[in-house]
Amino acid sequence: MIILWIDPWTTTTGFAFIDKINNQFKLLDYGILSTTPKIHIDDKLLELWSDFKFLLDKYNPDVVAIEKLFFQNNSKTAIDVAQARWVIVYESKKLNKKIEHYTPLQVKKAITWSGKANKIQLQNAIKILFGLDSIIKPDDAADAVGLAYMWGLNN
């Protein structure tokens, strides 16, 4: 079973693909989808859609796990990220993918056993879980690996 996790943003969207076979996890790919800086949100969304569609076609995941939105202050950023998230949900549903939604707190608890874990603690836990030589960077990609792993543990 191939799991895709997405951490949606408008400039950098983290992604990770994990293959789960008999409760064993293999990290297939991870990284970020980058859009052109300082262009209109409409153009960013089109770039994100194109890159995301390429990933879906390449790996054909069984499940798409998406991080839920969490914002404290900036409503403009929240609206833009919500639109980016919509692009991902729409394309996933269009291809009949199962979609799951998780909060950052759920991911931290599943990977580090603490909802208060910081980015470095999460990255180090992922490094250990997958036997990697170094931590995954950037943060968005590490978050993506963490969520895909968490989904695999619970399903």
| Residue-by-residue DSSP string for 56-98 | HHHH--SEEEEEPP--SS-HHHHHHHHHHHHHHHHHHHHTT-E
| DSSP bridge partners of 27 | 18
The residues that are catalytic are 7, 67, 140
Terminus-to-terminus CA distance in the chain, angstroms?
10
